[in-house]
Amino acid sequence: MFDEIMGKFEGSPSQQEVIRLLLERGFSVNDEGRVVSGGIEIPNTGIAREIGVDRRVVDSTTDAILEDPELRRIFQNISSIPSLMDLAPVLDLAVLTVWVEDETEPGIVADVTSAIADRDISIRQIISEDPEFTDDPKCYVVTDGPLPGELLVTIRELPYVRKVEF
């Protein structure tokens, strides 16, 4: 799906940057073509500044989204979720990041969370990036406390895991 969305903007790398930001942040586009998070409007100038493009690029991207029924359906229904990852150091939480060889492999989240739960470690949040919307999706697990080194080895040894970072 991500490739299809980006393909609709293949002639404009600047518009692709706008699309990437909207998807990464979970920003929607309302009927007036304004970028919103929930009911809060986000100024196009702020979006443009964030990704280093002209405000008119954001305007033309949101216009294109509204003109395309498939894009309109996606971007009017997307939403963001709060993440504990950036707060983890402040709240004394740990974040485990897992990269896999094949994101479509069934049981990735189940295997990783089972390995953590088997050690009586509480999981506060799991964010698994969708391979349809991200080039290199990762699974993030936020836990109540530090993870033992042997757990990281166990997770790294799962047959489909490419890399583990703590």
- Kind and range of the H or E element at 37? strand 35-37
Q: What is the mean pLDDT of residues 156-164?
A: 92
Strand partners, 143: 94, 123
How many Cα atoms occupy the beta-carbon half-sphere of 66 within 13 Å? Answer: 13
* Contact in structure between 37 and 28 (CB atoms under 8 Å): yes
Rounded CA-CA distance 24/81 in Å is 11
Q: What is the pLDDT of residue 136?
A: 84
Q: Residue 81: what pLDDT? A: 85
What domains are there in the chain, each with its CATH number? 2-75 (no CATH), 94-165 (3.30.70.260)
- pLDDT of amino acid 46: 96
pLDDT in tens, 80-139: 888 999 899 999 999 999 999 888 888 999 999 999 999 999 999 999 888 777 778 899
What is the average per-residue pLDDT within 10-29? Answer: 94
Fill in the amino acid letter for 100: V
pLDDT digits (tens, 9 = 90+) for 36-80: 999 899 999 999 999 999 999 999 999 999 999 999 999 999 988
Phi, psi of 134 (to 5 degrees): -135, 140
Confidence of residue 143 (pLDDT cuts 50, 70, 90): very high
For residue 166, the model assigns a pLDDT of 85
pLDDT for residue 104: 81
Q: What share of the chain is helix, strand, coil (3-state, %, to 5)?
A: 40, 20, 40
